[in-house]
Protein backbone atom coordinates (compact mmCIF):
# COMPACT_ATOMS: atom_id res chain seq x y z
CA UNK A 1 0.00 0.00 0.00
CA UNK A 2 1.50 3.28 -1.15
CA UNK A 3 1.76 6.58 0.69
CA UNK A 4 1.21 10.00 -0.88
CA UNK A 5 4.96 10.66 -0.85
CA UNK A 6 5.71 7.30 -2.47
CA UNK A 7 3.24 8.01 -5.26
CA UNK A 8 4.70 11.45 -5.84
CA UNK A 9 8.24 10.05 -5.94
CA UNK A 10 7.21 7.36 -8.45
CA UNK A 11 5.57 9.94 -10.71
CA UNK A 12 8.39 12.50 -10.49
CA UNK A 13 11.01 9.83 -11.23
CA UNK A 14 8.77 8.43 -13.98
CA UNK A 15 8.95 4.95 -12.45
CA UNK A 16 5.16 4.66 -12.70
CA UNK A 17 2.38 6.56 -14.43
CA UNK A 18 -0.70 7.89 -12.70
CA UNK A 19 -2.75 5.66 -14.98
CA UNK A 20 -0.88 2.55 -13.84
CA UNK A 21 -1.27 3.43 -10.17
CA UNK A 22 -4.96 4.19 -10.61
CA UNK A 23 -5.56 0.91 -12.41
CA UNK A 24 -3.74 -0.96 -9.65
CA UNK A 25 -6.17 0.47 -7.08
CA UNK A 26 -9.18 -0.15 -9.31
CA UNK A 27 -8.05 -3.78 -9.61
CA UNK A 28 -7.76 -3.94 -5.82
CA UNK A 29 -11.30 -2.60 -5.50
CA UNK A 30 -12.57 -5.22 -7.95
CA UNK A 31 -10.85 -7.92 -5.88
CA UNK A 32 -12.00 -6.99 -2.36
CA UNK A 33 -15.15 -4.93 -2.88
CA UNK A 34 -17.45 -8.00 -2.94
CA UNK A 35 -16.33 -8.63 0.65
CA UNK A 36 -16.02 -5.04 1.93
CA UNK A 37 -18.77 -3.15 0.10
CA UNK A 38 -17.04 0.13 0.96
CA UNK A 39 -18.25 1.96 -2.15
CA UNK A 40 -21.77 2.86 -3.17
CA UNK A 41 -20.35 3.67 -6.60
CA UNK A 42 -16.96 2.98 -8.18
CA UNK A 43 -15.96 5.49 -10.88
CA UNK A 44 -13.24 3.89 -13.07
CA UNK A 45 -13.78 6.06 -16.16
CA UNK A 46 -13.76 9.24 -14.09
CA UNK A 47 -10.62 8.12 -12.19
CA UNK A 48 -8.67 7.11 -15.30
CA UNK A 49 -9.55 10.40 -16.98
CA UNK A 50 -8.20 12.32 -13.99
CA UNK A 51 -5.07 10.13 -13.99
CA UNK A 52 -4.55 10.86 -17.70
CA UNK A 53 -4.56 14.58 -16.92
CA UNK A 54 -1.75 14.05 -14.39
CA UNK A 55 0.27 12.01 -16.86
CA UNK A 56 -0.19 14.78 -19.42
CA UNK A 57 1.20 17.31 -16.94
CA UNK A 58 4.24 15.09 -16.35
CA UNK A 59 4.81 14.66 -20.07
CA UNK A 60 4.64 18.45 -20.52
CA UNK A 61 7.13 19.01 -17.70
CA UNK A 62 4.62 20.89 -15.55
CA UNK A 63 4.85 21.08 -11.77
CA UNK A 64 2.72 18.48 -10.01
CA UNK A 65 -0.01 19.50 -7.53
CA UNK A 66 0.23 18.11 -3.96
CA UNK A 67 -2.11 15.11 -4.39
CA UNK A 68 -1.08 14.24 -7.96
CA UNK A 69 -2.19 10.73 -8.89
CA UNK A 70 -3.36 9.83 -5.36
CA UNK A 71 -6.41 7.49 -5.41
CA UNK A 72 -9.07 8.88 -3.05
CA UNK A 73 -12.52 7.83 -1.89
CA UNK A 74 -15.19 10.50 -1.35
CA UNK A 75 -17.97 10.01 1.19
CA UNK A 76 -21.25 9.94 -0.69
CA UNK A 77 -22.70 13.00 1.02
CA UNK A 78 -20.31 15.35 -0.81
CA UNK A 79 -21.49 16.60 -4.18
CA UNK A 80 -19.47 15.84 -7.30
CA UNK A 81 -20.93 17.44 -10.40
CA UNK A 82 -22.46 14.89 -12.77
CA UNK A 83 -21.99 11.89 -10.44
CA UNK A 84 -24.84 10.59 -8.24
CA UNK A 85 -24.76 11.72 -4.61
CA UNK A 86 -27.12 9.48 -2.65
CA UNK A 87 -26.30 10.01 1.05
CA UNK A 88 -27.00 6.23 1.17
CA UNK A 89 -30.71 7.07 1.04
CA UNK A 90 -33.56 6.01 -1.22
CA UNK A 91 -34.58 9.65 -1.09
CA UNK A 92 -31.58 10.66 -3.24
CA UNK A 93 -30.88 7.36 -5.00
CA UNK A 94 -31.03 8.89 -8.50
CA UNK A 95 -30.05 12.50 -7.74
CA UNK A 96 -27.14 13.92 -9.76
CA UNK A 97 -25.73 17.23 -8.43
CA UNK A 98 -25.53 20.09 -10.93
CA UNK A 99 -22.70 21.67 -8.89
CA UNK A 100 -19.43 20.70 -7.17
CA UNK A 101 -18.69 20.81 -3.45
CA UNK A 102 -15.79 23.04 -2.46
CA UNK A 103 -13.88 20.13 -0.92
CA UNK A 104 -14.13 17.87 -3.97
CA UNK A 105 -13.15 20.80 -6.21
CA UNK A 106 -10.08 21.40 -4.04
CA UNK A 107 -9.25 17.70 -4.19
CA UNK A 108 -9.54 17.67 -7.97
CA UNK A 109 -7.42 20.83 -8.23
CA UNK A 110 -4.80 19.14 -6.03
CA UNK A 111 -4.55 16.32 -8.58
CA UNK A 112 -6.16 13.46 -6.67
CA UNK A 113 -7.94 10.67 -8.53
CA UNK A 114 -11.45 9.86 -7.28
CA UNK A 115 -11.99 6.10 -7.49
CA UNK A 116 -15.51 6.17 -6.04
CA UNK A 117 -18.16 7.41 -3.61
CA UNK A 118 -18.06 5.59 -0.27
CA UNK A 119 -20.88 4.09 1.77
CA UNK A 120 -22.27 5.70 4.92
CA UNK A 121 -25.14 5.64 7.35
CA UNK A 122 -28.13 7.28 5.67
CA UNK A 123 -27.68 11.08 5.75
CA UNK A 124 -24.69 10.41 8.04
CA UNK A 125 -26.98 9.32 10.89
CA UNK A 126 -25.44 6.33 12.65
CA UNK A 127 -22.38 4.76 14.23
CA UNK A 128 -21.99 1.52 12.28
CA UNK A 129 -22.90 2.16 8.59
CA UNK A 130 -25.74 -0.33 9.11
CA UNK A 131 -28.25 2.43 8.33
CA UNK A 132 -27.26 2.61 4.67
CA UNK A 133 -30.24 2.01 2.39
CA UNK A 134 -28.08 0.07 -0.07
CA UNK A 135 -25.52 -2.20 1.58
CA UNK A 136 -23.70 -3.18 4.75
CA UNK A 137 -19.99 -2.32 4.76
CA UNK A 138 -17.74 -4.84 6.50
CA UNK A 139 -14.72 -4.19 8.70
CA UNK A 140 -11.50 -5.23 6.89
CA UNK A 141 -10.10 -6.67 10.13
CA UNK A 142 -13.09 -8.99 10.62
CA UNK A 143 -15.78 -9.17 7.98
CA UNK A 144 -18.43 -10.07 10.55
CA UNK A 145 -17.96 -6.73 12.34
CA UNK A 146 -19.03 -3.18 11.53
CA UNK A 147 -16.55 -0.52 10.35
CA UNK A 148 -18.09 2.19 12.52
CA UNK A 149 -20.04 5.13 11.23
CA UNK A 150 -21.22 7.18 9.75
CA UNK A 151 -18.11 7.33 7.52
CA UNK A 152 -17.62 3.57 7.64
CA UNK A 153 -17.13 3.18 3.90
CA UNK A 154 -14.35 5.76 3.84
CA UNK A 155 -12.49 4.16 6.75
CA UNK A 156 -12.90 0.62 5.42
CA UNK A 157 -11.71 1.66 1.95
CA UNK A 158 -8.45 3.03 3.37
CA UNK A 159 -7.94 0.10 5.75
CA UNK A 160 -8.69 -2.37 2.94
CA UNK A 161 -6.21 -0.78 0.54
CA UNK A 162 -8.87 0.37 -1.93
CA UNK A 163 -7.61 3.95 -1.84
CA UNK A 164 -4.71 5.84 -0.27
CA UNK A 165 -6.81 8.45 1.55
CA UNK A 166 -10.49 9.35 1.79
CA UNK A 167 -12.82 12.02 3.06
CA UNK A 168 -15.45 11.73 5.76
CA UNK A 169 -17.79 14.02 7.63
CA UNK A 170 -17.90 14.18 11.42
CA UNK A 171 -21.02 15.38 13.25
CA UNK A 172 -20.58 13.50 16.52
CA UNK A 173 -17.59 11.25 15.87
CA UNK A 174 -18.31 9.96 12.38
CA UNK A 175 -14.66 10.18 11.28
CA UNK A 176 -12.87 9.29 14.50
CA UNK A 177 -15.08 6.32 15.45
CA UNK A 178 -14.65 4.40 12.16
CA UNK A 179 -10.94 5.30 12.19
CA UNK A 180 -10.68 3.61 15.58
CA UNK A 181 -12.71 0.56 14.50
CA UNK A 182 -10.73 0.13 11.24
CA UNK A 183 -7.22 0.85 12.57
CA UNK A 184 -6.54 3.98 10.48
CA UNK A 185 -6.02 7.68 11.17
CA UNK A 186 -9.10 9.90 11.08
CA UNK A 187 -9.28 13.59 11.89
CA UNK A 188 -12.07 16.07 12.61
CA UNK A 189 -10.72 19.61 12.06
CA UNK A 190 -11.76 22.78 13.88
CA UNK A 191 -15.33 23.72 12.96
CA UNK A 192 -15.11 26.07 9.98
CA UNK A 193 -11.58 25.15 8.89
CA UNK A 194 -12.92 23.08 5.97
CA UNK A 195 -15.79 24.36 3.82
CA UNK A 196 -19.17 22.63 4.10
CA UNK A 197 -20.43 23.97 0.76
CA UNK A 198 -21.72 20.98 -1.18
CA UNK A 199 -21.82 18.73 1.90
CA UNK A 200 -25.39 17.49 2.31
CA UNK A 201 -26.37 18.88 5.71
CA UNK A 202 -27.23 16.77 8.75
CA UNK A 203 -26.66 19.13 11.72
CA UNK A 204 -25.15 22.35 10.41
CA UNK A 205 -23.57 23.60 13.65
CA UNK A 206 -21.78 20.27 14.15
CA UNK A 207 -20.93 18.86 10.70
CA UNK A 208 -17.29 19.05 9.64
CA UNK A 209 -15.46 17.40 6.73
CA UNK A 210 -12.12 15.77 7.49
CA UNK A 211 -9.48 13.33 6.19
CA UNK A 212 -8.71 9.63 6.60
CA UNK A 213 -5.28 8.11 5.97
CA UNK A 214 -3.14 5.17 6.92
CA UNK A 215 -0.63 7.54 8.52
CA UNK A 216 -0.65 10.92 10.23
CA UNK A 217 1.51 12.34 7.43
CA UNK A 218 -0.95 11.35 4.68
CA UNK A 219 -3.79 12.76 6.78
CA UNK A 220 -1.90 16.04 7.23
CA UNK A 221 -1.19 16.36 3.51
CA UNK A 222 -4.87 15.85 2.65
CA UNK A 223 -5.97 18.32 5.34
CA UNK A 224 -3.75 21.05 3.87
CA UNK A 225 -5.37 20.47 0.48
CA UNK A 226 -9.00 20.69 1.64
CA UNK A 227 -8.78 23.38 4.36
CA UNK A 228 -9.19 27.07 3.72
CA UNK A 229 -11.63 29.96 3.55
CA UNK A 230 -14.66 29.65 1.29
CA UNK A 231 -17.01 32.62 0.72
CA UNK A 232 -19.75 30.14 -0.22
CA UNK A 233 -19.83 28.89 3.40
CA UNK A 234 -20.92 31.50 5.94
CA UNK A 235 -19.28 29.52 8.78
CA UNK A 236 -15.91 29.23 7.00
CA UNK A 237 -12.92 30.63 8.91
CA UNK A 238 -10.64 33.08 7.10
CA UNK A 239 -7.33 31.96 8.61
CA UNK A 240 -3.94 31.01 7.12
CA UNK A 241 -3.54 27.31 6.27
CA UNK A 242 -0.02 25.98 6.85
CA UNK A 243 1.57 22.99 5.17
CA UNK A 244 0.76 20.68 8.07
CA UNK A 245 3.01 17.87 6.83
CA UNK A 246 6.07 20.13 6.85
CA UNK A 247 5.45 20.85 10.53
CA UNK A 248 5.90 17.17 11.42
CA UNK A 249 9.39 16.97 12.88
CA UNK A 250 11.52 13.82 12.59
CA UNK A 251 12.90 14.52 16.07
CA UNK A 252 10.08 12.75 17.90
CA UNK A 253 11.37 13.31 21.43
CA UNK A 254 11.82 17.03 20.81
CA UNK A 255 8.25 17.32 19.52
CA UNK A 256 6.90 15.97 22.83
CA UNK A 257 9.44 17.40 25.28
CA UNK A 258 7.69 19.74 27.66
CA UNK A 259 4.27 19.17 26.09
CA UNK A 260 1.53 18.98 28.69
CA UNK A 261 -0.90 16.14 27.96
CA UNK A 262 -4.15 16.09 29.90
CA UNK A 263 -5.98 12.82 30.50
CA UNK A 264 -9.76 13.32 30.64
CA UNK A 265 -10.65 11.34 33.76
CA UNK A 266 -14.39 11.23 33.00
CA UNK A 267 -13.69 8.95 30.01
CA UNK A 268 -12.38 6.12 32.19
CA UNK A 269 -14.34 3.79 34.43
CA UNK A 270 -17.78 2.25 34.00
CA UNK A 271 -18.72 1.48 30.42
CA UNK A 272 -15.16 1.40 29.09
CA UNK A 273 -13.94 -2.00 27.88
CA UNK A 274 -11.04 -3.22 30.04
CA UNK A 275 -8.79 -3.98 27.07
CA UNK A 276 -9.44 -0.57 25.52
CA UNK A 277 -8.62 1.08 28.84
CA UNK A 278 -5.38 -0.89 29.19
CA UNK A 279 -4.14 -0.04 25.69
CA UNK A 280 -5.03 3.65 25.98
CA UNK A 281 -3.28 3.90 29.36
CA UNK A 282 -0.25 2.16 27.85
CA UNK A 283 -0.26 4.78 25.08
CA UNK A 284 -0.37 7.54 27.68
CA UNK A 285 2.59 5.94 29.50
CA UNK A 286 4.42 5.84 26.16
CA UNK A 287 3.87 9.56 25.68
CA UNK A 288 5.24 10.14 29.18
CA UNK A 289 8.32 8.06 28.39
CA UNK A 290 8.93 10.26 25.35
CA UNK A 291 9.02 13.39 27.49
CA UNK A 292 5.42 14.54 27.69
CA UNK A 293 4.12 15.82 31.03
CA UNK A 294 0.98 13.86 31.92
CA UNK A 295 -1.70 15.54 33.98
CA UNK A 296 -5.14 14.36 35.06
CA UNK A 297 -7.88 16.72 33.87
CA UNK A 298 -11.52 16.84 34.87
CA UNK A 299 -14.17 17.89 32.38
CA UNK A 300 -17.18 17.44 34.66
CA UNK A 301 -19.81 18.12 31.98
CA UNK A 302 -18.24 15.68 29.52
CA UNK A 303 -20.90 13.09 30.40
CA UNK A 304 -23.64 15.53 29.36
CA UNK A 305 -22.34 15.52 25.80
CA UNK A 306 -24.48 12.59 24.70
CA UNK A 307 -27.91 13.88 25.83
CA UNK A 308 -27.01 17.39 24.68
CA UNK A 309 -26.08 16.12 21.23
CA UNK A 310 -29.22 14.04 20.83
CA UNK A 311 -31.31 17.15 21.37
CA UNK A 312 -29.34 19.59 19.19
CA UNK A 313 -28.44 17.27 16.30
CA UNK A 314 -31.98 15.92 15.68
CA UNK A 315 -33.37 19.45 15.96
CA UNK A 316 -31.05 20.66 13.20
CA UNK A 317 -31.71 17.50 11.20
CA UNK A 318 -35.48 17.99 11.31
CA UNK A 319 -34.99 21.45 9.80
CA UNK A 320 -32.39 20.40 7.22
CA UNK A 321 -34.31 17.34 6.02
CA UNK A 322 -37.57 19.25 5.59
CA UNK A 323 -36.40 20.05 2.05
CA UNK A 324 -36.96 16.42 0.99
CA UNK A 325 -40.65 16.55 0.20
CA UNK A 326 -40.87 15.25 -3.37
CA UNK A 327 -41.37 18.71 -4.86
CA UNK A 328 -37.98 19.99 -6.01
CA UNK A 329 -35.63 17.00 -6.41
CA UNK A 330 -35.02 13.44 -5.31
CA UNK A 331 -37.69 10.81 -4.79
CA UNK A 332 -41.34 11.63 -5.52
CA UNK A 333 -44.20 9.26 -4.70
CA UNK A 334 -47.37 10.05 -6.61
CA UNK A 335 -50.50 10.56 -4.57
CA UNK A 336 -54.04 11.93 -4.82
CA UNK A 337 -53.12 15.27 -3.25
CA UNK A 338 -50.13 17.35 -2.16
CA UNK A 339 -50.18 16.23 1.47
CA UNK A 340 -50.34 12.61 0.34
CA UNK A 341 -47.29 13.14 -1.87
CA UNK A 342 -45.39 14.68 1.04
CA UNK A 343 -46.14 11.87 3.47
CA UNK A 344 -45.74 8.97 1.05
CA UNK A 345 -42.46 10.35 -0.30
CA UNK A 346 -40.97 10.73 3.16
CA UNK A 347 -42.39 7.42 4.34
CA UNK A 348 -40.73 5.43 1.55
CA UNK A 349 -37.68 7.65 1.06
CA UNK A 350 -36.34 7.79 4.62
CA UNK A 351 -35.06 4.86 6.70
CA UNK A 352 -35.97 4.12 10.31
CA UNK A 353 -33.06 6.01 11.96
CA UNK A 354 -33.60 9.14 9.88
CA UNK A 355 -37.32 9.10 10.73
CA UNK A 356 -36.50 8.63 14.40
CA UNK A 357 -34.22 11.67 14.48
CA UNK A 358 -36.65 13.85 12.53
CA UNK A 359 -39.37 12.96 15.03
CA UNK A 360 -37.13 13.68 18.03
CA UNK A 361 -36.04 16.99 16.56
CA UNK A 362 -39.53 18.09 15.62
CA UNK A 363 -40.78 17.25 19.12
CA UNK A 364 -37.94 19.16 20.78
CA UNK A 365 -38.57 22.26 18.64
CA UNK A 366 -42.34 22.24 19.12
CA UNK A 367 -44.20 24.81 21.19
CA UNK A 368 -44.02 24.01 24.88
CA UNK A 369 -40.84 21.93 24.62
CA UNK A 370 -38.40 24.34 22.94
CA UNK A 371 -37.40 26.03 26.21
CA UNK A 372 -37.45 22.82 28.22
CA UNK A 373 -35.15 20.89 25.89
CA UNK A 374 -33.50 22.84 23.07
CA UNK A 375 -32.56 25.97 25.04
CA UNK A 376 -31.27 23.85 27.94
CA UNK A 377 -29.21 21.77 25.54
CA UNK A 378 -27.61 24.91 24.11
CA UNK A 379 -26.76 26.06 27.63
CA UNK A 380 -25.23 22.66 28.38
CA UNK A 381 -23.22 22.96 25.15
CA UNK A 382 -21.76 26.23 26.42
CA UNK A 383 -20.80 24.61 29.72
CA UNK A 384 -19.07 21.73 27.90
CA UNK A 385 -17.07 24.27 25.86
CA UNK A 386 -16.12 26.10 29.06
CA UNK A 387 -14.77 22.86 30.56
CA UNK A 388 -12.51 22.46 27.52
CA UNK A 389 -11.42 26.10 27.76
CA UNK A 390 -10.34 25.58 31.38
CA UNK A 391 -8.53 22.38 30.44
CA UNK A 392 -6.56 24.06 27.66
CA UNK A 393 -5.48 26.78 30.06
CA UNK A 394 -3.52 24.02 31.83
CA UNK A 395 -2.45 21.59 29.09
CA UNK A 396 -1.52 21.57 25.40
CA UNK A 397 -3.59 18.57 24.31
CA UNK A 398 -6.13 16.19 25.83
CA UNK A 399 -6.21 12.42 25.38
CA UNK A 400 -8.83 9.73 25.94
CA UNK A 401 -10.17 6.58 24.24
CA UNK A 402 -11.81 7.19 20.87
CA UNK A 403 -14.54 4.62 21.56
CA UNK A 404 -15.64 2.63 24.63
CA UNK A 405 -15.19 -0.69 22.77
CA UNK A 406 -13.66 -2.14 19.65
CA UNK A 407 -15.79 -2.88 16.58
CA UNK A 408 -18.86 -4.96 17.40
CA UNK A 409 -20.59 -7.65 15.36
CA UNK A 410 -23.01 -6.53 12.67
CA UNK A 411 -26.55 -6.65 14.04
CA UNK A 412 -25.53 -6.56 17.70
CA UNK A 413 -26.93 -3.08 18.38
CA UNK A 414 -29.46 -2.43 15.63
CA UNK A 415 -32.40 -3.33 17.87
CA UNK A 416 -31.23 -1.00 20.67
CA UNK A 417 -30.76 2.61 19.45
CA UNK A 418 -29.61 3.85 22.87
CA UNK A 419 -26.83 1.26 22.98
CA UNK A 420 -25.76 2.40 19.51
CA UNK A 421 -25.79 6.06 20.58
CA UNK A 422 -23.46 5.28 23.49
CA UNK A 423 -20.78 4.33 20.96
CA UNK A 424 -20.22 8.07 20.36
CA UNK A 425 -19.82 8.88 24.05
CA UNK A 426 -16.13 9.89 23.79
CA UNK A 427 -16.30 11.83 20.53
CA UNK A 428 -19.46 13.97 20.74
CA UNK A 429 -18.18 16.65 23.18
CA UNK A 430 -15.44 17.61 20.70
CA UNK A 431 -18.08 18.46 18.07
CA UNK A 432 -20.20 20.39 20.55
CA UNK A 433 -17.17 22.56 21.36
CA UNK A 434 -16.03 22.91 17.72
CA UNK A 435 -12.57 21.52 18.54
CA UNK A 436 -10.20 19.45 16.38
CA UNK A 437 -9.67 15.82 17.30
CA UNK A 438 -7.83 12.87 15.80
CA UNK A 439 -7.95 9.10 16.30
CA UNK A 440 -4.78 7.08 15.80
CA UNK A 441 -4.21 3.33 16.31
CA UNK A 442 -2.74 2.45 19.71
CA UNK A 443 -3.13 -1.34 19.91
CA UNK A 444 -5.23 -4.42 19.34
CA UNK A 445 -7.58 -6.26 21.68
CA UNK A 446 -7.39 -10.01 22.33
CA UNK A 447 -9.52 -10.71 19.25
CA UNK A 448 -7.15 -8.75 17.01
CA UNK A 449 -9.40 -5.71 16.56
CA UNK A 450 -7.91 -2.17 16.50
CA UNK A 451 -8.12 0.30 19.37
CA UNK A 452 -8.00 4.06 18.86
CA UNK A 453 -6.39 6.81 20.94
CA UNK A 454 -8.18 10.16 20.66
CA UNK A 455 -6.10 13.33 20.88
CA UNK A 456 -7.85 16.71 21.17
CA UNK A 457 -6.39 20.21 20.84
CA UNK A 458 -7.72 23.73 21.17
CA UNK A 459 -9.36 25.49 18.21
CA UNK A 460 -7.08 25.98 15.20
CA UNK A 461 -4.23 24.03 16.81
CA UNK A 462 -4.23 21.31 14.17
CA UNK A 463 -0.47 21.82 13.94
CA UNK A 464 0.05 20.81 17.56
CA UNK A 465 -2.51 17.99 17.31
CA UNK A 466 -0.77 16.45 14.30
CA UNK A 467 2.69 16.84 15.83
CA UNK A 468 1.75 14.92 18.97
CA UNK A 469 -0.08 12.26 16.95
CA UNK A 470 2.87 11.90 14.59
CA UNK A 471 5.37 11.55 17.44
CA UNK A 472 3.35 8.74 19.00
CA UNK A 473 2.68 7.02 15.68
CA UNK A 474 6.27 7.03 14.46
CA UNK A 475 7.61 5.70 17.76
CA UNK A 476 5.24 2.70 17.68
CA UNK A 477 4.39 -0.01 15.17
CA UNK A 478 0.59 0.06 15.25
CA UNK A 479 0.17 2.05 12.04
CA UNK A 480 2.18 -0.57 10.13
CA UNK A 481 -0.27 -3.39 10.86
CA UNK A 482 -2.57 -4.41 8.03
CA UNK A 483 -6.12 -5.70 8.23
CA UNK A 484 -6.18 -9.49 8.10
CA UNK A 485 -9.87 -10.14 7.55
CA UNK A 486 -9.90 -9.94 3.75
CA UNK A 487 -9.76 -13.09 1.66
CA UNK A 488 -7.62 -11.91 -1.26
CA UNK A 489 -6.82 -14.34 -4.05
Output the pLDDT for position 37: 98
Query: Is residue 375 a part of any domain in this protein?
Result: no
Percent of the chain with pLDDT over 70: 99
Query: Is residue 28 a part of any domain in this protein?
Result: yes
* pTM strictly above 0.75: yes
Output the pLDDT for position 78: 98
What is the number of structural domains in the chain? 1
CATH number of the domain that residue 170 is part of: 3.90.1300.10
How confident is the model over 389-409, as pLDDT tens digits?
Answer: 999 999 999 999 999 999 999
Query: Is residue 399 a part of any domain in this protein?
Result: no
Residues in the chain where the model's pLDDT stays below 50: none
| Structural domain that includes position 242 | 4-250+408-480
Rounded mean pLDDT of the chain? 96
Output the pLDDT for position 486: 84
Query: Is residue 200 a part of any domain in this protein?
Result: yes
How confident is the model over 349-362, as pLDDT tens digits?
Answer: 999 999 999 999 99
The catalytic site residues sit at: 75, 150, 174
Exposure of 30 in the CB half-sphere (CA atoms within 13 A): 8
Output the pLDDT for position 463: 97
Output the pLDDT for position 253: 74
Output the pLDDT for position 488: 61
How confident is the model over 84-111, as pLDDT tens digits?
Answer: 999 999 999 999 999 999 999 999 999 9
Residue 336 CB burial class (10 angstroms; 0-12, 13-18, ≥19):
exposed
Output the pLDDT for position 334: 94
Amino acid sequence: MLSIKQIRSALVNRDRTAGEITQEYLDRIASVEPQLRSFIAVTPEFALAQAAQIDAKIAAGEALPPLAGVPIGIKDNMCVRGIPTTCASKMLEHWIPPYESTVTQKIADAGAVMVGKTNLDEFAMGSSTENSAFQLTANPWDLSRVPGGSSGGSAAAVAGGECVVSTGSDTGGSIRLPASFCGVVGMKPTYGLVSRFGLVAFASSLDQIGPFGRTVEDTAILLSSIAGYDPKDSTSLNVPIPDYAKLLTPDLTQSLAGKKVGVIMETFGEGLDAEVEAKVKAAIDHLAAMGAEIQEISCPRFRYGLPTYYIIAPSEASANLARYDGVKYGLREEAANLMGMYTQTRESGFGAEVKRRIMIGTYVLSAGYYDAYYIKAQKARTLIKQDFDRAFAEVDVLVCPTAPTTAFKAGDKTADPLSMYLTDLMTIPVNLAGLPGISIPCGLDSTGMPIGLQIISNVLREDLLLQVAYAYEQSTEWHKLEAKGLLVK
